[in-house]
Structure 1
Amino acid sequence: MKALLFIETNEEKVLGGSLELISAVKALNAEGTALVVGNRAAADTVAALGIPVIFIDAARDCDTLTEVLSETVKEQNPDVVLLANTVLSKDVAPRIAARASLGCVSDVTGISNTDGKVIYTRPVYGGTVLEHIEVEGKAVITVRNGSFSKPEAASNAGVTEKKVEIPADAVKAKIVDAVKEISESVNLEEAQVIVSGGRGMGNVENFKLVEELANVLGGVVGATRPAIEDGWISRAHQVGQSGKVVAPKLYIACGISGATQHTSGMSGSNYIVAINKDEDAPIFEIADVGIVGNVMDILPAMIEEMKKAKAK
């Protein structure tokens, strides 16, 4: 089985979700080849993880990237094309699938390959149900960030540079100007520790305890939609269906009831600690550790104990 991985980059850095695709290839027991576009340093980084890399310095936007990927798919003829489930890939994946007449499955969180039958698992209905999909023939797959572990360094598999001629009519849209929103830079997707606060924190002053605990743990602050809408913290921190999908090693939910809209964005976390005064709160159904009590009493004690532990 052959797999083609599109490795997405952000300036000079390889996106963590793209690196996880290398582990997804192992789950498929497939022979993988990675495609890196426009960033030679990133191509070298990926090759050092033990997977051969094709480097093409031709694409700069969605239209040209679609052309490059389409040509690479024709040349490599893979059984599956894997992309991280990013905004860009959600745009590109269905285009590639349509051009090459392939199946397309988005937001995949699990892959199994048994007796030559590949099953893709993805959440539906806001994460309340998992569906298992078998694609007839070849497929384009986008994989949710945090679904697989990041690969370890291996023997360098090398980089092959290729050229793809992009016809002028391939570009359907032209960017004439770009306006960058001035906002706080929050990297929730890459965070190893996230401390999130919800409506149960009560007010903006109480929410500062969430920020303090995150700071003590060296983590990032997350929030539910009600906390965002009440103005306690910027929208860049939102976790959930209408925010960011995260999968840290540790997720601490403070005053969060556990509505589907939020849990669908953090249920992939390795270890979940939930603090809520309602013992019947849905968040406890997915938590590894549940603390029933007033978050305003528990958080100061946690912060104090964490500070002591760090001081030792």
Structure 2
Amino acid sequence: MTALVIAEHDNAAIKGATLNTVTAAKACGGDVHVLVAGHNAGAAAQAAAQIAGVAKVLHADAEGLAHGLAENVAAQVLALAGNYSHILFPATAAGKNVAPRVAAKLDVAQISDITQVDSPDTFERPIYAGNAIATVQSQDATKVITVRSTGFDAAAATGGSTAVETVAAVAGSGKSSFVGAELAKSDRPELTAAKIIVSGGRALGSKEKFDEVMTPLADKLGAAIGASRAAVDAGYAANDLQVGQTGKIVAPQLYVACGISGAIQHLAGMKDSKVIVAINKDEEAPIFSVADYGLVADLFVAVPELVQSV
């Protein structure tokens, strides 16, 4: 029984979600192999070889794999799938783009967003926006799985020393092509990897107020900035800052929610945070049900006072 983890990377370094996925793969039993499919991605393959607990790294290098196009990466995975009992992807935008295609081509049921491995064929995953946990058993010969990174500790990025084996890269499918990417650049920590997140909600009232109130707090704490769906829909914050079921799933050491009511959709994305602090003038706000510390106060007064006291 051997598991294959499909590494998420930028052709130079391994992304953090891969480390959590390796931990999930180890829980499935047996050896863990990692596939690094990319172009000029030797550095990423070497980084994967340093991950603790990895028995082998497979490196497929081709121009068609440079940008993680689903058709090409899926074909590469399928070329190797016969050797593995479990194929695991991080439950990120990239992983969710490729995994369904692999599952469909293998004619198996994908097991999505797992947060725990009970046994090699039994897994737990959240349903109903995280309000219930489903235990799912699969009898498929090959199990295609996406892993919610917040459910598993990250494997150590160093300490391992395994071989990197070059595998033949499959030819590009020609069904899609990479046109370009528009990436948001920020000096702040990346939202899903940040240890501290401060999030604002609709109560902030405008983009100007959102920036005026949230930016100083984030600067003081060295935090990433997040937002509720309501704040994003209202144009207060960019789409890539949305935390929630339809945004990003986060589990930082500290999550500070300012003016966020705590709708189910938002709680699904952050309730696994280690410490949750909520500031809201509505003492009946659902956010207080998951908060470790709650302050019933006007955020326009409380947050600036908090900034001054830090």
The code of the aligned residue for 2:101 comes to R
**Is 1:106 matched with 2:112?**
yes
- Counterpart pick for 1:123 among 121, 126, 129: 126
Inter-partner Cα distance in structure 1 for 2:109 and 2:196: 35
The correspondence of residues 26-175 of structure 1 with structure 2, limited to 5 A, is: 26-38=26-38, 39-50=41-52, 51=54, 52-58=56-62, 59-60=64-65, 61-74=69-82, 76=83, 78-113=84-119, 118-137=121-140, 138-152=142-156, 153-166=158-171, 171-175=173-177
Inter-partner Cα distance in structure 2 for 1:64 and 1:269: 35
The code of the aligned residue for 1:33 comes to H
Residue aligned with 1:149, SS: coil
Moved over 3 A (4+): 179-186, 202-206
Inter-partner Cα distance in structure 2 for 1:104 and 1:259: 28
Contact 2:11 2:44 in 1 (8 A): no
Residue aligned with 2:250, SS: coil
Tell me which moved more, 198-207 or 220-229: 198-207
Inter-partner Cα distance in structure 2 for 1:10 and 1:107: 22
Contact 1:197 1:227 in 2 (8 A): yes
Contact 1:145 1:189 in 2 (8 A): no
Inter-partner Cα distance in structure 1 for 2:121 and 2:299: 44
Contact 1:195 1:211 in 2 (8 A): no
**So what's the TM-score if we normalise by structure 1?**
0.87
- Counting matched residue pairs gives 297
The code of the aligned residue for 1:222 comes to G
Q: Structure 2: which 5+ residue stretches go unaligned?
A: none
- Offset at residue 96 of structure 1 (A): 1.6
- Offset at residue 165 of structure 1 (A): 4.1
1:14 aligns to what?
14
- Offset at residue 95 of structure 1 (A): 2.0
Q: Structure 1: which 5+ residue stretches go unaligned?
A: 307-312
Contact 1:18 1:84 in 2 (8 A): yes
- Offset at residue 110 of structure 1 (A): 2.1
Residue aligned with 1:265, SS: helix
Q: Deviations over 1:33-76 (max 9, x none)?
A: 111112111111111113121111135232221111001112x2
Contact 1:108 1:122 in 2 (8 A): yes
Percent identity reads 35
RMSD across aligned C-alpha pairs, in angstroms? 2.1
**So what's the TM-score if we normalise by structure 2?**
0.87
Contact 1:273 1:288 in 2 (8 A): yes
- Offset at residue 198 of structure 1 (A): 0.6
Tell me which moved more, 34-43 or 268-277: 268-277
Contact 2:2 2:32 in 1 (8 A): yes
The correspondence of residues 169-188 of structure 1 with structure 2, limited to 5 A, is: 171-175=173-177, 178-181=179-182, 183-185=184-186, 187-188=190-191
